[in-house]
Amino acid sequence: MDKIVLTTDSAMCAIKRNDSIIIPTQIIDNQGNSYCDNIDISNRKILEDMKKGIIYKTSSPLLGDFETTFRSILEDGKDVIHLSVGSSISQGSVNGANLIANQLNEEYNNKVYVIDSLTGATGGTLLYELAYQELSNSNLKVNELIEKLNKLKEQIKTAFYVPNIEGYIRSGRDTTRSNLKNTVLSTTSRIAKMAGIKFRVDVNKEGKLFLKNFFRATEEKGMEKMVMDIVNEKTIETFDKSIVSIGSLYKDKVDLEKIKKYLLSFKYFEKIVENDIGSVIAAYGCNDLCGIALMKKLH
């Protein structure tokens, strides 16, 4: 990684390493206060504040933060590979990174390369880990690396366990086009909670979030049930064995260690990465929101 620096915005929920940089997304409350994700505010504060009636929304990283970060790397004679949260989740993040990259690429011989990840959070962690491994272990030229990462991102399958659908609907990022959505929207979150209904939200090939299905489960068993539906004896060989990513917002009732043991019980996956899901998701999430991301095999 001597000649290339990996950057990402915090909505990707990247693993913090000393030789890569996370650019904070903005978190804004309904009182007009603005915070830098994971710097000025935490998952726990957001989730606790929401119980008090404080509502949060999110915005893309500041253009000045993109410029300061990219410029400092270019002035050091290095290239930048920036992994942006998917454009269908945050068009502003991708557009902002590209705007500054295009401006700076006219000034410097070294370049900024922006990759629209088509994912975020747990899926973003998986792509980040793959990118980091490639930078650390391969001798690919930067254009070859960009090409490879753009292919790898299309293999990522991401699913979220969402016990309370209210925040997700408020986010305005749902793209479900089916009777399933109408069924859920006609059922209040309070009734759903009373009935023990939990939800699975996936990311599709275009990087859009959609309501995959809903099912009955206790909060303790919901994530486990979702993972077992995705990864089992019938499906496991459809996934690449190299790496799996799991993550949570705030470990309350969901036992991720149990999920990890389940995945390891197949003696198939070589590496399981666990990482917290960032405050961007917390703004529209709930205590027990969790996610899993895997690599689908190429046919």
Tokens describing residue 68: 């300061």
- Find where tokens 């009935």 sit: 195
Burial class (CB in 10 A: 0-12, 13-18, 19+), 282: buried
155-296: which CATH number, 3.30.1180.10, 3.40.50.970, 3.40.720.10, 3.40.718.10? 3.30.1180.10
pLDDT of residue 169: 76
CA 124, 125, 126, 132 dihedral sign is positive
Is residue 13 within 8 A of residue 120, CB to CB? The reply is yes
Cα atoms found within 13 Å of the Cα of residue 96, Cβ hemisphere only: 26
Q: Domain 4-25+58-154 carries which CATH code?
A: 3.40.50.10170
Q: Please state the φ and ψ torsions of residue 232, each to the nearest 5 degrees.
A: -155, -175
Is residue 70 within 8 A of residue 102, CB to CB? The reply is no
The amino acid at 12: M
Count of beta carbons in the 10 Å neighbourhood of residue 175 = 14
Question: What is the rounded distance in angstroms from the CA atom of residue 118 to the CA atom of residue 207?
Answer: 4
Domain coordinates of the chain in residue numbers?
A: 4-25+58-154, 155-296
Q: Where are the beta strands (DSSP E) in the chain?
A: 4-9, 20-23, 26-29, 34-36, 56-59, 79-84, 112-116, 156-162, 197-203, 209-216, 239-248, 272-276, 290-296
Tokens describing residue 34: 């603005």
- Order across the sheet with 34-36: list the strands: 34-36, 26-29, 56-59
- At residue 189, the 3 state secondary structure works out as helix
pLDDT < 70 stretches in the chain: 1-2, 14, 174, 177-195, 299
pLDDT of residue 287: 83
Question: What is the rounded distance in angstroms from the CA atom of residue 113 to the CA atom of residue 141?
Answer: 13
Tokens describing residue 135: 């930078």
Count of beta carbons in the 10 Å neighbourhood of residue 129 = 19
- For residues 217-245, b (16+ Cβ closer than 10 Å) or e, as one string? bebebbbbbbbeebbeeeeeeebbbebbb
pLDDT of residue 37: 87
- CA-nearest of 229, 95, 91, 230 to 158 is 230
Question: What is the rounded distance in angstroms from the CA atom of residue 247 to the CA atom of residue 260?
Answer: 10
